[in-house]
Structure 1
Amino acid sequence: MSAAYDGKARKARLRLALIGVAIVGTLGVGGALGVMTLKADEPEAKASRDASPGGTASSAPPANRALTPAEASRVPVLKPKSNTDGIGTGFEHSALGATSAAISYWEDLDVLDDVIARKQWTAIAASDSPKTIDKGVTEVRKIREGVGLPPSGGTPDGITFSTNVTAALTRSLDTSGDIVNVWMVFDRYATIRDKGADDNPLKDEVTNLVLKWDGGDWKVTTDPQYTSEVNGPHAYDPASTYAWADGWRVVSDG
């Protein structure tokens, strides 16, 4: 490894923490009307069609049985049924399907290669939200510049990263259940060849994706008519009964 590349790799390692924050800044937006029920023992549960305008958690526990996300059953994450341009697609039309799509997208989106990112965002963007694609690619290019790389190009050889969503909260943004917002807590790790794993990974970051049932799959939208309805949930804490009542659930692969 050349001295020049070694210096760039070290710089990238130190600044990869910017990756999650930068993307959250553009794609994470705040509002919700009601929590969609996500029960581990009901994988086929359809999106709630009685969302309350006040954002009341539809899965709140009885007063004598307060749980925490850590104590409750984990939510199973469905696997994509297909793959389009390097990202999993094909999720069922349900609350669990929307949650699984958001988690799968966030874990698989490329955050350093803008060419791959454009293909992925094109595959998962809602048909009436083309700006979503440009926003996603723009954030990747900002990240590249932030870690000392040219604005466009591939991931430097020897650098890999992984994203792991640990908890999620899904809310319907309309009464049909076809527009949903998924909040996610995630960790992101970087590994550099010959240097080992990142000793300062991005931990417990929070982001969200707004998804729309579109053309037989869940697609990401950044349309203001939907994102303006998003409100932030209570802070996630695996030991908090309030977090559980608000709708936060630990995911099965988290």
Structure 2
Amino acid sequence: MSFGDEHGYGGDSGRTDESFGGTGQTRTRLPDGRSGDMYGGPRRPARGSRSLITVVGVVVLLIAAIAFANRGGGDDEASGGGGKGASSGPGADPTTATGVKPVTGKNGAIPSGFAQTEQGAASAAANYAVALGSDGMFNAASRQDIIRATHDPATADGLLSSLDKAYSPNFFKNVGLNEDGSTPSGLTFVSRTMPVGTKVTDLSGDAATVEVWSTGLVGLAGEGSTKPVSSTWFTITEKLKWIGGDWKIASSSQSEGPTPVNGDNRASSADEIAKAVQGYGGFTYAR
């Protein structure tokens, strides 16, 4: 989701719509007394359409701004152990696989049935971030399905009401869509969130807090696009509650970065990006 800058839950809205926390660059004192960037330059070139909003961010940021702090499936074996209890302690998950199979259950199109463990909370948070940063958030019907599948029922109705107002004709226009949220003819709308890593910062009984470091894509691919697909980096913090045998989001917030230095890759053509989006699917994130 982006759980994109469209409005946190997608949209140009949420992420300030654009700033999700400071970028705080680290500077190193050079031998000759000059102060320079440790990477030799700005972290990223200035983007003229920064207000473009990264769908993924919008979704989450909007949710946070809305103050909604106050997205049942497989068996225990398939869901990573099923029973209660935490692992040795909160922290970043190692990059090596645990050997536990991904969940097999689904709530609509969203994975469900996560274990009430540190690993289960991390997997749930990552999958929910993907759903909340997806292009499905730009359609009223699918947005409702996503929110109800990932959130605490106590917050879902209020959040949906706020999101319906946020996804306004003017908002759609700002991100390059038609006023009804549909994609202009000949173009492909892109809104994806890809988790890079997770960190469980708190786990206690029926509650958990998980940070999901992610990168996202948002924009319109195709010849003549005035909102080309661009990438962004952000961290989503999800406060989860164990409800009805699964983890659900009680509240979430988003901050910018950590952002790596841009590489030397050649930017692909609009046609290449459109074909990639149409040809490559997403993943179920589980440890």
Scaled by the length of structure 2, the TM-score of the pair is 0.51
Q: Which ranges of structure 2 fall in alignment gaps of 5 or more residues?
A: 1-11, 13-47, 68-79, 261-284
| Shift in alpha-carbon separation, 1:99–1:59, aligned structure 2, 3 A | closer
Q: Which ranges of structure 1 fall in alignment gaps of 5 or more residues?
A: 1-11, 31-42, 51-56, 61-68, 239-251
How far apart are residue 47 of structure 1 and its match?
Answer: 4.5
Q: Once the two structures are superposed, what CA deviation does each residue of 1:127-178 show, in whole Å capped at 9, x if it has no partner?
A: 22232443455555585353254665445562233210102111336x42x1
Does residue 23 (structure 1) correspond to residue 75 (structure 2)? The answer is no
CA distance in 1, matches of 2:103, 2:123: 8
Correspondence for 1:186 = 214
CA distance in 2, matches of 1:202, 1:221: 27
Q: CA RMSD in A?
A: 4.3
CA distance in 1, matches of 2:91, 2:57: 30
Q: Report SS of the residue matched to 2:86.
A: coil
Query: Which has the higher relative contact order, 1 or 2, with Cα contacts under 8 A spaced 6 or more apart?
Result: 1
Q: In the alignment, which of 80, 103, 122 is matched to residue 148 of structure 2?
A: 122
Q: In the alignment, which of 146, 155, 158 is matched to residue 174 of structure 2?
A: 146
Correspondence for 1:201 = 230
CA distance in 2, matches of 1:95, 1:203: 27
Q: Is the 1:82–1:90 Cα contact (8 Å) retained in structure 2?
A: yes
| Shift in alpha-carbon separation, 1:103–1:143, aligned structure 2, 3 A | farther
Q: Percent identity?
A: 18
Does residue 48 (structure 1) correspond to residue 76 (structure 2)? The answer is no
Correspondence for 1:113 = 139
The alignment covers a number of residue pairs equal to 191
Give the letter aligned to residue 89 of structure 1: S
CA distance in 1, matches of 2:259, 2:52: 25
Residue pairs, 1:91-102, within 5 angstroms: 91-102=114-125
Q: Report SS of the residue matched to 2:137.
A: coil
Scaled by the length of structure 1, the TM-score of the pair is 0.56
Does residue 167 (structure 1) correspond to residue 197 (structure 2)? The answer is yes
How far apart are residue 214 of structure 1 and its match?
Answer: 0.5
Give the letter aligned to residue 55 of structure 2: I
Q: Report SS of the residue matched to 1:207.
A: strand
Q: In the alignment, which of 73, 76, 82 is matched to residue 95 of structure 2?
A: 73
Q: Report SS of the residue matched to 1:129.
A: helix
Does residue 87 (structure 1) correspond to residue 105 (structure 2)? The answer is no
Q: Which has the higher strand share?
A: 2
How far apart are residue 79 of structure 1 and its match?
Answer: 3.4
